[in-house]
Amino acid sequence: MRALANVLSAGDFGADDLQLKASAQPGTRQVQLLIAGHSGQIGRKLCRQLATRGDNFLAQGLHLRITGLINSREFTWRDLDSQNSVTYVRQPDDWPQILRHFLSGHIGARQFVDCTAGDAFISHYPELLRHGIGIVTPNKLANSGSQVDYATLQQLARQCGAPYRYETTVGAALPVLGPLADLVRAGDKVKRIEAVVSGTLSFIFGRVNNGERFSVAVREARARGYTEPHPGADLAGTDSGRKLLILMREAGLKWEPEQVKVENLVPEELAAESDAERFLAGLVAHDKTWAERAEAAHHRSLRLVYLARFDGRSASVGVTHVSNTDPFALLAPGENLIRIWTERYQPVPLGIAGPGAGPELTAAGVLTDILKAAAQLR
Ligand SMILES: NC(=O)c1ccc[n+]([C@@H]2O[C@H](COP(=O)([O-])OP(=O)(O)OC[C@H]3O[C@@H](n4cnc5c(N)ncnc54)[C@H](OP(=O)(O)O)[C@@H]3O)[C@@H](O)[C@H]2O)c1
């Protein structure tokens, strides 16, 4: 890697005075964090939350230290002894060097925090776990591929005693996956799931049901940071499909992605548009159709929702109508609701509801996972 410059104190690394306070408190546990995607929506909020809450964690005997930051262009490394940092230009095959930096030194436990939106680091998860490095991520991709890959990561995390936490992949900061896995571990069996798991689609349909144009609602969702960088990823339904698959897997079901039926909200030609602005402009042509569907539903006292469903035999995500008194119809725009029927939770299901998108909340959920992983790494 080529070094760009020596930077004495990079703001993203947090306050230097924390180091002094930590060294004044014997017995403080140290955890090194390598954050990928620190310049993205979630990553930026996470770095800010780590910087502003560092004192609170120290008071609880935990010193979270960001030692590395990676994005698509740069890798910045901070030497924990000298406090100096160096920024390198990213190269195609620089992962071994990045990992070597992370494994150097003997300070505390290590966590890799993957706040990227793509699959750039997913193939490295097994290696990280084998080194005993914890992984925390809001990125769904590693857990929504093949069942074999999902099971391998779970098994490695157990075998290597390395925490692998991804609570924010479903419902953002809502506690969904942890409680679900706890139920199953305690012997309960999941019979049925119904959920609005896309904060983006919940926001968009909430607005459309209230008379807003579809294209305007999508733009608004994007402006609020609810959508993926390209909103087509949300409207394709694949994001909801992935979340349903992760829910099912945490429930102990061994399903493959192809078994989840997904309804795309935009026609094929528009779905293929890779430029986000042109994609948004193309949505205007569909405003009339969505307005008519919402209006027709309204006249029958129904509302449109994008629902993820598993009924024990089939799994699907798509648009459906629910009565305007149904719990799914009563969600505020942007809210998620996950209803889970089990052997113990029936006929009344377990329900978890609340805001299910947004960078600030999601980053707070990632931070919670970092704290839980740190406790596990003790
Ligand atoms: N937004 C939400 O409300 C929400 C909720 C739950 C979960 N999530 C998940 O959180 C993750 C992050 O979302 P986001 O909205 O923060 O995405 P984002 O704004 O697009 O940020 C992506 C980050 O990843 C970096 N990146 C991209 N390619 C990379 C590569 N090859 N190597 C290293 N870094 C790379 C980007 O760096 P550059 O600056 O160099 O491009 C940027 O820092 C996604 O997986 C998303 O599904 C988001």
Reply yes or no on whether the pLDDT at 47 is more than 50.
Answer: yes
* Domain count for the chain: 2
Cα 117 to averaged position of ligand 1 atoms, centre (Å):
4
| CATH code (residue 113) | 3.40.50.720
Cα 233 to averaged position of ligand 1 atoms, centre (Å):
13
Separation of alpha carbons 155 and 139, rounded Å:
19
State residue 53 phi and psi, 5-degree precision.
-105, 5
pLDDT (0 to 100) of residue 17: 65
Q: Which ligand 1 atom lies nearest to the CA of residue 120?
A: 31
pLDDT (0 to 100) of residue 81: 77
User: Is the same domain home to 276 and 128?
Assistant: no
User: Is the same domain home to 209 and 344?
Assistant: yes
pLDDT (0 to 100) of residue 82: 79
Q: Which ligand 1 atom lies nearest to the CA of residue 172?
A: 6
Q: Which ligand 1 atom lies nearest to the CA of residue 73?
A: 40
User: Is the same domain home to 368 and 334?
Assistant: no
User: Is the same domain home to 25 and 65?
Assistant: yes
Known catalytic residues are: 243
Mean confidence (pLDDT) of the chain: 92
Q: For the chain, give the percent of residues with pLDDT over 70.
A: 93
List, for residues 287-309, the tens digit of each pLDDT value. 999 999 999 999 999 999 999 99
- Residues in contact with ligand 1 (CB, 6 Å cut-off): 36-43, 70-73, 115-118, 120, 138-140, 168, 172, 225-226, 228-229, 357-359, 362
Average pLDDT over residues 326-340: 94
pLDDT tier at 7, thresholds 50, 70, 90: very low
pLDDT tier at 226, thresholds 50, 70, 90: confident
Reply yes or no on whether the pLDDT at 213 is more than 80.
Answer: yes
pLDDT (0 to 100) of residue 228: 78
User: Is the same domain home to 37 and 141?
Assistant: yes
Structural domain boundaries, residue 166:
2-172+361-376
Average pLDDT over residues 344-363: 94
pLDDT tier at 345, thresholds 50, 70, 90: very high
User: Is the same domain home to 206 and 224?
Assistant: yes
pLDDT (0 to 100) of residue 215: 97
Cα 14 to averaged position of ligand 1 atoms, centre (Å):
20
Cα 36 to averaged position of ligand 1 atoms, centre (Å):
8
Q: Is-contact 200 219, C-beta < 8 A?
A: no
Reply yes or no on whether the pLDDT at 10 is more than 90.
Answer: no
Three-state DSSP class for 137?
coil
Average pLDDT over residues 3-29: 61
pLDDT (0 to 100) of residue 212: 97
Q: Which of 71-80, 123-132, 180-189, 249-258 has the lowest mean pLDDT?
A: 71-80
Average pLDDT over residues 58-72: 94
pLDDT tier at 24, thresholds 50, 70, 90: low
Both tokens assigned to 262: 């997904």
User: Is the same domain home to 121 and 205?
Assistant: no
Cα 161 to averaged position of ligand 1 atoms, centre (Å):
27
Pocket-testing residue among 115, 166, 168, ligand 1, by greatest number of atoms within 8 A of Cβ: 115
**Residues 38, 200, 181, 126, Cα dihedral to 10°:** -40
Q: Which of 21-25, 30-34, 121-125 has the lowest mean pLDDT?
A: 21-25
> Which residue, judged by its Cα, is nearest atom 7 of ligand 1?
138
Q: Report which of residues 100 and 333 the model is more confident about.
A: 100
pLDDT (0 to 100) of residue 76: 96
pLDDT (0 to 100) of residue 9: 43
Reply yes or no on whether the pLDDT at 159 is more than 80.
Answer: yes
pLDDT (0 to 100) of residue 31: 95
| CATH code (residue 203) | 3.30.360.10
Q: Report which of residues 210 and 20 the model is more confident about.
A: 210
For residue 181, the one-letter residue type is: A
User: Is the same domain home to 140 and 184?
Assistant: no
pLDDT (0 to 100) of residue 11: 54
Cα 139 to averaged position of ligand 1 atoms, centre (Å):
8
State residue 326 phi and psi, 5-degree precision.
-65, 145
Reply yes or no on whether the pLDDT at 53 is more than 60.
Answer: yes
User: Is the same domain home to 368 and 328?
Assistant: no
Average pLDDT over residues 345-366: 95
pLDDT tier at 2, thresholds 50, 70, 90: low
pLDDT (0 to 100) of residue 83: 80
Q: Which ligand 1 atom lies nearest to the CA of residue 361?
A: 3
Cis before 231? omega within 30: no
User: Is the same domain home to 187 and 279?
Assistant: yes
User: Is the same domain home to 228 and 367?
Assistant: no
Average pLDDT over residues 214-218: 97
pLDDT tier at 6, thresholds 50, 70, 90: very low
User: Is the same domain home to 148 and 206?
Assistant: no
- Helix ranges (H only) for the chain are 17-23, 41-59, 95-103, 125-130, 147-160, 177-185, 199-209, 214-223, 232-235, 238-250, 268-271, 276-283, 287-299, 359-376
Whether the model pTM is above 0.75 = yes
DSSP string for 229-293 = SSTHHHHTSHHHHHHHHHHHHHTT----GGGEEE--SS-HHHHT---HHHHHHHHGGGHHHHHHH
pLDDT (0 to 100) of residue 1: 62
Cα 293 to averaged position of ligand 1 atoms, centre (Å):
34
Q: Which ligand 1 atom lies nearest to the CA of residue 114?
A: 11
